[in-house]
Amino acid sequence: MTDKSKQTEYNQTWESKNKEYSNYLKSRSSARSFVKNKATLEDLEEFETLINERRKLIATSNMD
């Protein structure tokens, strides 16, 4: 077995043990890539609205 296949096996094991966090990281990476490389001005304006709404939600849930 080569080092690369061992690393791949390790990565797959880690992902299976950490599915939720792994999905979070993949989603975050995709979002960043989209914003940096493909988003239009309209997309960015929509994201600003969504981000502000999310911030408000998180801020109010932290007050409880």
Considering the entire predicted model, what is its pTM?
Answer: 0.75
pLDDT for 26: 97
Counting every residue written for the chain, the total comes to 64
The interaxial angle of helices 3-17 and 19-37, nearest 10 deg, is 100
Q: For 42-63, what is each residue's pLDDT tens digit?
A: 999 999 999 999 999 999 998 8
Domain that holds residue 57: 3-63
Alpha-helix runs per DSSP H in 1-64: 3-17, 19-37, 41-63
How many separate domains does the chain show? 1
